[in-house]
Amino acid sequence: MTPMPRISQQRSNPTTRLPLAKPLAAVAAACGASLLFSGAALAQAAPAAISDDIVRLGLILDMSGVYADVTGKGSATAAQMAIDDFGGTVLGKKIELLAVDHQNKADIAAARAREWYDTQKVDAILDVAGSAPALAVLEVAREKKKIVVFSGPGTERITNDLCSPYSVHYTYDTWSLANTTARATVDRGGKSWYFLTADYAFGHTLQASATEVVKARGGTVLGAARHPLGTSDFASYLLQAQASRAQVVGLANAGGDTVNAIKAAREFGLTQGGQKMAGLLLYINDIHAIGLDAAAGLMLTEAFYWDMNDQTRAWSQRYYDKLKKMPNMSQAGTYSSVMHYLKAVQAAGTDAPDAVMKQMKAMPINDFFATNGRIREDGRMVHDMYLFEVKTPAESKRPWDYYKLVATLPGDEAFMPLSKSTCPLVKAAAK
Residue among 270, 275, 306, 300 nearest 287 (CA) = 300
Whole-number average pLDDT of the chain: 88
pLDDT digits (tens, 9 = 90+) for 81-117: 999 999 999 999 999 999 999 999 999 999 999 999 9
Instruction: Specify the pairing of strand 167-169 against strand 147-150.
Output: parallel
Residue among 97, 88, 91, 104 nearest 24 (CA) = 97
pLDDT digits (tens, 9 = 90+) for 47-57: 458 999 999 99
Strand partners for 350: 49
DSSP single-letter state for residue 26: H
Decide if 148 contacts 341 (C-beta within 8 A).
no
Question: How many residues are recorded in the chain?
Answer: 431
Round to the nearest angstrom and report the end-to-end CA distance of the chain.
50
pLDDT digits (tens, 9 = 90+) for 182-191: 988 998 899 9
pLDDT digits (tens, 9 = 90+) for 37-47: 444 433 334 44
pLDDT at 431: 62
pLDDT digits (tens, 9 = 90+) for 140-195: 999 999 999 999 999 999 999 999 999 999 999 999 998 899 988 998 899 999 99
Decide if 132 contacts 150 (C-beta within 8 A).
no
- Average of pLDDT values for 353-381? 97
Give the predicted TM-score (pTM) of the model.
Answer: 0.85
Strand partners for 129: none
pLDDT at 400: 97
pLDDT at 29: 41
- Which class is domain 54-172+308-383? alpha beta
* Residues 175-280, CATH architecture: 3-Layer(aba) Sandwich (3.40)
Q: Crossing angle of helices 131-144/106-118, nearest 10°?
A: 30
Decide if 132 contacts 199 (C-beta within 8 A).
no
Q: Give whole-number Cα distances, 15 to 25, 40, 80, 119, 121, in Å.
A: 23, 21, 21, 8, 11
- Average of pLDDT values for 239-252? 94
Model confidence at 276, pLDDT cuts 50, 70, 90, reads: confident
Q: Examine the pLDDT at 277 and tell me if it is beyond 90.
A: no
pLDDT at 42: 38
Numbered ranges of CATH 3.40.50.2300 in the chain = 54-172+308-383, 175-280
Model confidence at 232, pLDDT cuts 50, 70, 90, reads: confident
pLDDT at 27: 35
Q: Examine the pLDDT at 74 and tell me if it is beyond 60.
A: yes
Sequential DSSP letters for 246-306:
-SEEEEE--HHHHHHHHHHHHHTTTTTTT-EEEESS--HHHHHHH-HHHHTT-EEEES--T
